[in-house]
Amino acid sequence: TRLLDILEDYCMWRGYEYCRLDGQTPHEEREEAIDTFNASNSSKFIFMLSTRAGGLGINLATADVVILYDSDWNPQVDLQAMDRAHRIGQKKPVRVFRLITDNTVEERIVERAEIKLRLDSIVIQQGI
């Protein structure tokens, strides 16, 4: 969550209103942050969360941009993160960006995740 700390500092410096959720966020604050972000009159336009802390049950249907900056070895975790914005009630197209640094372990993680997704498609989805 170190990058979340950096992004939070940037948002504060720019005066952006935002919500943040990570593994240290208590349950009550999680619910409040989600409700505040999704409110029709919300001035908060940034919701930062770690993919692992996101878990199940988070609905960010008012979000229209998802930026993945720390890909997971398990591609289902990243897909789940994208699904936070692809929810019932979403009225806008959702754009997803994945940030990857060249020649890093991150690049290999994404390559392996893509292989796993292809295998999932062949074995699980097609019933082979």
Domain count, the chain: 1
Query: Which domain range does residue 18 map to?
Result: 2-125
On whether the CB atoms of residues 73 and 112 are closer than 8 A, the answer is: yes
At 82, the pLDDT band (50, 70, 90 cuts) reads: confident
> Per-residue pLDDT tens for 85-115?
887 778 888 888 888 899 999 899 989 989 9
Q: Which segments of the chain are extended strands (E)? A: 18-21, 46-49, 65-68, 95-98
**pTM of this structure:** 0.78
CATH of residue 104's domain is: 3.40.50.300
